[in-house]
Amino acid sequence: MDRANQEIAKFCEFGSQHARLPSVRSGRCFITTLLCSAELHSQESVDSTKTWMIRSPPMFHITYERLAGMGTPLLALVVWSLFFTSPAEARDPIPIVVTIPVLQDLTEQVGGPFVQVKSLLNGYENEHTYSPKPSDLVAVRKARLLFEVGLGLEVWVTSLVKNAGSAGLRVITTSQGVELLHDGGDVHDAMHPSAHETESGGNPHIWLDPVNVGIMLRHITQALIDVDPVHAPDFRANHDAYLQRLERLRQELMNRTQRLPDRRFIAHHPAWPYLAKRFNLEIVDTIHTQSGTEPSALHLQHLIAKIKKQHIRVIASEIQLNQRLPELLSRDTKARVVVLTTMPGGMPGTESYLDMLRYNVLQLVSALEAN
């Protein structure tokens, strides 16, 4: 075999090993078979040092001799472009902005390598009082999708989107279709909202119930399919796989909470009705009944009396809030403070939603069992 044919054989062997190309058939490399619809524009009388081009297929048959004339570097480029790239793979990931880390995790779980997600909050901020930064404005301006919870949780989103002025941006509210609760954990009655509830009629911390996360995930998946239908099968497969993992964890945690002799606790802030209802826990009272306001001295005295009288032994606080008041109540009542997180990444080992859910429930269970 001459040098040209040796070079072609090397590329065939490389392709079959690294790109799963079909094997050589009838002494001819599969590359040759695929390229035989293309033709080198060449004249026998033209000197080999002059330029040449590949015309649009199909026109002429291509031979080993003409392939050899292409030269090793250029032949490598042709092979690479044919076998190692595709229009779908060459696309840039979809730029997406989300308001809170749980939405980032859910979006990345469904979107995989086909999305590039930025969360405006990182897990330590208070979602109610967050103030957008200039970099947030830039990110929203570049994004094609913005995922929010809604329900008045992110009151700052409307002005942020308006100031970004991106005509192509789609804002997806992931709470659509979720059954809303009062802060106390009962199904919401729109005629009697509590102080923490919003104009939309319910407690906004819906993601702390894994069943609600399934609804949110459906909105995210459909939005990704609408923007990038080429990868719809990937999005649907990722969606289904994640739901199975979520259900397994829910069942695992339900088994842990069912054995509790005492399910009662005091909440620092009204973030926990959805989690409490799902896992059969009981919120006896709340320290902060409304975000951004301090409880009165009378309310604190009322809490201390209730904790002592009813022998409440656990106070559930949050890493996103100041720990001064839970610690004060703990000193006066001997109740144990357990620090939870409403956001993935808020505590070590809670980088994903599943990690966060497991952490919160098991921390509560351990504190309740210890008392």
Q: Which domains does the chain have, with CATH numbers?
A: 3-85 (no CATH), 91-250 (3.40.50.1980), 260-370 (3.40.50.1980)
For 207, the token pair is 């993601």
The most confident of the ranges 6-15, 32-41, 150-159 is 150-159
Helix (H, G, I), strand (E, B) or coil at 194: coil
Average pLDDT over residues 37-46: 40
Angle (CA) 330-331-336 rounded to 5° is: 30
Angle between helices 210-227 and 101-111 in degrees, nearest 10: 60
- Which has the higher per-residue pLDDT, 358 or 51? 358
Query: At residue 369, does pLDDT exceed 90?
Result: yes
pLDDT of residue 190: 33
- Which has the higher per-residue pLDDT, 210 or 196? 210
Phi and psi angles of residue 279, each rounded to the nearest 5 degrees, phi first:
-110, 20
Neighbours of 140 (CB within 10 A): 24
- DSSP code per residue over 81-102: HHHS--HHHHSPPEEEEESSHH
Query: At residue 187, does pLDDT exceed 70?
Result: no
At 216-258, the pLDDT tens digits run: 999 999 999 999 999 999 999 999 999 999 999 999 999 999 9
- How do strand 264-267 and strand 282-286 relate by DSSP bridges? parallel
CA 204 to chain centre: 18
Lowest mean pLDDT among 128-137, 190-199, 339-348: 190-199
pLDDT of residue 360: 98
Query: At residue 42, does pLDDT exceed 70?
Result: no
C-beta contacts of 78-82 below 8 A and 24+ residues apart? 78/35, 79/11, 79/14, 79/15, 79/31, 82/31, 82/34, 82/35
Query: At residue 50, does pLDDT exceed 60?
Result: no
